[in-house]
Structure 1
């Protein structure tokens, strides 16, 4: 529910705020907008509500992002950028292929758990058949780096004789994403149907270990993950 006019904080002057911290302005708007889009979808999200929850006016939001669809696209790009930047920061240089893949899968699992709005926005974009993602060169470029990252780990494993040859890095990325994505997207329904809290710390840790083991067994040359 939107705050009424008496509850809303006064908006800062547009020109002054842009001059002081334009990147901070964009980040704050995108953070709030992502939550609104994740909760209500593109059609249900309201710029009035986003403005009410930020320090900035509707006019400033339009100044930076053009319109609601422009804001949605930037929020979607930002969501993908966060996960790809997190992958890039993983300290896997010098690790064995098995350890590197383990760390990548664990990161993906933990990131999706901590950023449920990312999962919801991806689900919403699939409802729109990827039509807004298709407009974004930035997202395509970001995801090229993700495939390059996993391809290097996989190639290293094949060279060392611990991963079986002939696998497609894009399909490996699909499988990692699918297991980690489902953990968030279907948690509520699985918990309700089977009477088990799939969001409890113990259950999440078990699911993460199982996800890692499934991926390692799939890529392993002999069907069993190396020690």
Structure 2
């Protein structure tokens, strides 16, 4: 992500380049910056406001300058997150087939108490992608401003729905533009979970509780509005109040 963007300054507390570990993280593609803006844009009367502007970001580069990557980099990036005790991993991309190593490291992250959120994929009614398709990963689809599932969204293992159509967010060149995709929807849900963790007393949670992930999922379900077929909407649209 572009950590020098006016709306993202001061957000990154640590970063890691899983593709070239000896190089700094630079978002030449722009996807990471767009996702970060939805999640965490500063409350500064400039541009936009993220869902959870108070969060600290651990920026991990696993996709190349063309927006593509490989399993080894993704697995390495998740291992880095585990080693650095992050609380939530947002994976705003997917792959079409499952992978043994990816499944294993995802399990390791979840067993260590990390909440894993992933975009369901932009497959236009096709299958949900991995890692969102894994059982314990929170899979997020996209809906528009009328709460209708986006035409590019998949069908299948969906857990929750969130805004993902025509979303204004930050860009790599320091400005703003409108983007669409389940990647942005996943960032919204990651922000909601951040609010829940930040207000643990209100939701009767303890961060070190071994059942934290299960309880968070229960809270998300409690505050979800049913939108229809769970194969498209999952438990519905989350609205905290």
Fold match by TM threshold 0.5 = no
Which structure's CA Rg is the greater one? Answer: 1
Length-normalised TM-score, structure 1? 0.29
The structure carrying a bigger helix percent of its residues is 1
Length-normalised TM-score, structure 2? 0.28
